[in-house]
Structure 1
């Protein structure tokens, strides 16, 4: 039986490292990215390492495009693994675009792939340490809005719940990733009866091009790293190793949770 894996944001950084790890665990691997050049290069680099690798150019916010991705995956065989690493960070867009890509896009991907869930399917959605350290107090009203990111008027309703502060890209990013945490929990209960699993993973400061861009714009990130338990940035392959475990049969009883991989930043802040 031909097994299928999907990695989004596969053109570079953590997504590409996740793809590298999955080449040895599935038969066919779809590498998804908006950037045709980088995803094609990634597919060429990973070819011959195990799985048959196919680049797939896609905007993850496009419902029609996601439907096409689901159709392609279904045509190849049973869906075994999904690593959803695609996303944008605070320096890359305004608050509406951040929430649209990082949360609404994740919810649309989950919906498109849900019919493919079967026994042994596992998915990991990338969230962020920001959802743990950037939201200082619970906000049940905001969480209620985040519970349905595909509802009409979602962005306006979230703005009403959080006020003008959400217009700050960093604030929007934290809440988008909080929404990913909540989405993974809900999706786990939706696909669980089919024998499928869903988790989220929250990276800390990781040495990727996107991470370096954020660090250059926010010097406070270096201070977080310096104060962390391990005192260093993470490496993309370290995140990919955690994702590979979550997608493996060794994690067969793990679902509906977020795994924080931040080198001890949160621990250091909590004990300060």
Structure 2
């Protein structure tokens, strides 16, 4: 049986770090990215190194339904889907609120839906979320959560705007809601996939030293205060997150399903502790 792995956003940063870990887990590895040149170069490099997997690249926007169909067809041609590290996404400085929700939440749901028929016993998926929604101590509006739980509704963005109002037009707010949606989507998908013996989890990185993370830090100086308040006293590295993803995708995590793993150096705990002490 030929096992197949997928890493999205695999041209750089955390997606690439996940691809490098997956290269020793599966027989064939698909590096998926919108940047075909970078993805092809990394696939060639991985194939030329001493890894178990041979690698190939695929140019794909995860919101492209036709492109996702090509991805599933290719996996079916190659073998059995074993592992998916879905790191592709955008951050608040990269787009407006609609695009952020479309890529980070709707795109995640589209990808997982497309791959669902390929899931079998032993298939494991990790979707990237974020620590962002975990800083919000207020109970979310139930009406907003009801909309959030149906990201593939054709009027999803309009419905979410109806319940959240103009606040969601702020890119940071949209990002937080998108990632909250990923947390919740993974929980529901775990129930759907469990019947065939497949698993899905999410991972929530903290402040990670990647090109995308540095771009956000330039626009938001407050992020440096979070770094300073991180109990481990540093930013994370791509390899820190990739190691957590590798565990969740491994057989060692065979009974771990439907959860979010926070990889933030303890900063959420520090902020929550400070808030509790102030009460």
Under TM normalisation by the shorter chain, which class is it? over 0.9
Q: Deviations over 1:160-203 (max 9, x none)?
A: 11111100000000000000001101111111100000000000
- Give the structure 2 partner of residue 57 of structure 1: 59
Is 1:123 equivalent to 2:125 in the alignment?
Answer: yes
Query: What is the count of residue pairs matched by the alignment?
Result: 272
- Give the structure 1 partner of residue 46 of structure 2: 46
* Correspondences of 1:66-215 after superposition (within 5 Å): 66-134=68-136, 136-215=138-217
TM-score normalized with structure 2 length: 0.96
RMSD: 0.9
- Give the structure 1 partner of residue 277 of structure 2: none
The answer for unaligned runs of 5 or more in structure 2 is 275-279
TM-score normalized with structure 1 length: 0.98
1-structure distance, mates of 2:194, 2:97: 33
Is 1:242 equivalent to 2:244 in the alignment?
Answer: yes
2-structure distance, mates of 1:181, 1:166: 18
2-structure distance, mates of 1:218, 1:252: 39
Distance 1:137 1:118, change over 3 A: same
Alpha-carbon shift at residue 135 of structure 1 (Å): 6.4
* Correspondences of 1:250-265 after superposition (within 5 Å): 250-265=252-267
2-structure distance, mates of 1:98, 1:69: 22
Q: Deviations over 1:41-88 (max 9, x none)?
A: 211221132201000100100001001101100111110000000000
Alpha-carbon shift at residue 136 of structure 1 (Å): 3.7
2-structure distance, mates of 1:26, 1:176: 30
Q: Deviations over 1:222-251 (max 9, x none)?
A: 101101111210010010000000000000
